[in-house]
């Protein structure tokens, strides 16, 4: 499909061959094709326009070498621009403090609890002692879900099913972690189907009190423009450190990665590609750029 786009771009260029130069005139149609490809991949229209304007500037005046078709050249420039837009290279999570606290935020159904388990497994594999904390006090099933995941990955889960005070639970969990020598505490929080004031205040309070070394925002990549709006709202309230993009095993090409990065300017740190605990990858901007272009 990657070739598809360069073929389409070649067609748009029609006659430009060999050592011709890319000019304003012959690049215009091509840029439209690129914009369409980005929008097809779920990139927000405004963002796609800004990106393609940049690509146009970047491409102008470049020589088309005999060995490279103008389509291939444009795809390469586009890929470079998209990679840059998504931060250029991967950004690791910060793990400081004893224990290091990681706060997980996001809407219900985004994949928070699943990701909490996956991150636990990932850190365990990297040699860290981990404690998972069930702080979703509104959804008893979330506690059971986390316990099942904890068992599966061999990581302890702290919960207080009768306690309705998330901050108290988290503080008790941290005390428990200190006592039992766990160096990392991952706190799974409550989510609602839509942004809700009570939920926001609760997680804001958790962040202030726990002073996590990393606050992550989990978002379903299939939700398109909504994902961008939710990211903006959560960032305004939480000033999170990074984004986790989930459900990339679905049929989305992942354009939300570009839109979110562009709107909130926070790095995407992980991507989730399935329901299984091993379906977690570190986010690499260059790989995502390839995926977005098809």
Q: Which residues bind ligand GDP (CB under 6 A)?
A: 106, 108-114, 191, 246-247, 249, 272-275, 279
Q: Which residues pair with 264 in a beta bridge?
A: none
Does 112 show up as a binding residue in the annotation?
yes
- How many Cβ atoms from other residues are within 10 Å of residue 127's Cβ? 7
Q: How far is the CB of 50 from ligand GDP (least distance, A)?
A: 28
Q: Which residues pair with 214 in a beta bridge?
A: 102
Find tokens 């919960």 and name the residue: 159
How far, CA to CA in Å, does 258 sit from each of 108, 203, 226, 268?
Answer: 23, 26, 14, 10
Q: How far is the CB of 275 from ligand GDP (least distance, A)?
A: 4
Does 242 show up as a binding residue in the annotation?
no
Q: Which residues pair with 156 in a beta bridge?
A: 131
Query: In terms of CB distance, is 44 or 116 closer to ligand GDP?
Result: 116
Query: In terms of CB distance, is 159 or 272 closer to ligand GDP?
Result: 272
Spatial separation of the C-alpha atoms in residues 280 and 264, rounded to whole Å: 23
Q: Which residues pair with 81 in a beta bridge?
A: none
Spatial separation of the C-alpha atoms in residues 192 and 170, rounded to whole Å: 19
Does 255 show up as a binding residue in the annotation?
no
Does 269 show up as a binding residue in the annotation?
no
Query: In terms of CB distance, is 275 or 278 closer to ligand GDP?
Result: 275
Does 250 show up as a binding residue in the annotation?
no
Does 57 show up as a binding residue in the annotation?
no
Q: How far is the CB of 190 from ligand GDP (least distance, A)?
A: 9
- Tell which residue, 53, 65, 78, has the closest CA to residue 22: 65
- Reduced to 3 states (helix: H, G, I; strand: E, B; else coil), residue 101 is strand
Query: What's the half-sphere exposure (Cβ side, CA atoms, 13 Å) at 269?
Result: 18
Q: How far is the CB of 232 from ligand GDP (least distance, A)?
A: 18
Spatial separation of the C-alpha atoms in residues 107 and 191, rounded to whole Å: 4
Spatial separation of the C-alpha atoms in residues 263 and 232, rounded to whole Å: 7
Q: How far is the CB of 149 from ligand GDP (least distance, A)?
A: 9
154 Cβ neighbours under 8 A, 6+ residues apart: 124
- Reduced to 3 states (helix: H, G, I; strand: E, B; else coil), residue 97 is coil
Query: In terms of CB distance, is 41 or 216 closer to ligand GDP?
Result: 216
Query: In terms of CB distance, is 6 or 110 closer to ligand GDP?
Result: 110
Does 246 show up as a binding residue in the annotation?
yes
Q: How far is the CB of 244 from ligand GDP (least distance, A)?
A: 9
What stretches of 171-265 adopt beta strand conformation (E)?
184-189, 214-220, 242-246
Query: In terms of CB distance, is 66 or 141 closer to ligand GDP?
Result: 141
Does 192 show up as a binding residue in the annotation?
yes
Q: How far is the CB of 186 from ligand GDP (least distance, A)?
A: 13
Is residue 34 within 8 Å of 55, Cβ to Cβ?
yes
Does 35 show up as a binding residue in the annotation?
no
Query: In terms of CB distance, is 182 or 247 closer to ligand GDP?
Result: 247
Binding site for GTP, by residue number, is 106-113, 188-192, 246-249
């Amino acid at each position: 499909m990657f070739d598809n786009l360069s073929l389409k771009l070649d067609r748009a260029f029609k006659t430009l061959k060999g050592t011709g130069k890319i000019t304003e005139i012959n690049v215009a149609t091509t840029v439209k094709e690129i914009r369409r490809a980005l929008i097809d991949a779920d990139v927000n229209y405004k963002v796609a326009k800004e990106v393609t304007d940049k690509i146009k500037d970047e491409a102008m005046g470049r020589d088309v070498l005999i060995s490279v078709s103008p389509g291939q050249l444009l795809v390469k420039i586009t890929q470079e621009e998209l990679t840059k837009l998504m931060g250029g290279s991967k950004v690791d999570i910060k793990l400081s403090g004893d224990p290091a606290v990681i706060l997980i935020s996001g809407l219900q159904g985004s994949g928070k609890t699943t990701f909490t388990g996956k991150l636990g497994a990932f850190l365990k594999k990297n040699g860290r002692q981990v404690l998972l904390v069930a702080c979703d006090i509104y959804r008893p099933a979330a506690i059971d879900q986390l316990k099942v995941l904890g068992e599966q990955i061999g990581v302890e889960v702290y919960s207080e099913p009768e306690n309705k005070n998330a901050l108290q639970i988290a503080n008790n969990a941290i005390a428990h972690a200190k006592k039992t020598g766990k160096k990392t505490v991952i706190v799974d929080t409550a989510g609602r189907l839509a942004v809700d004031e009570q939920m926001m205040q609760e997680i804001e309070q958790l962040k202030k009190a726990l002073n996590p070394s990393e606050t992550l925002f989990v978002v379903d990549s299939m939700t398109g423009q909504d994902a961008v709006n939710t990211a903006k709202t959560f960032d305004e309230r939480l000033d999170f450190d990074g984004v986790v993009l989930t459900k990339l095993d679905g049929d989305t090409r992942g354009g939300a990665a570009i839109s979110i990065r562009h709107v909130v300017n926070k790095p995407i740190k992980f991507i989730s590609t399935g329901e299984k605990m091993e379906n977690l990858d570190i986010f690499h901007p260059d790989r995502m750029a390839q995926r977005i272009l098809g």
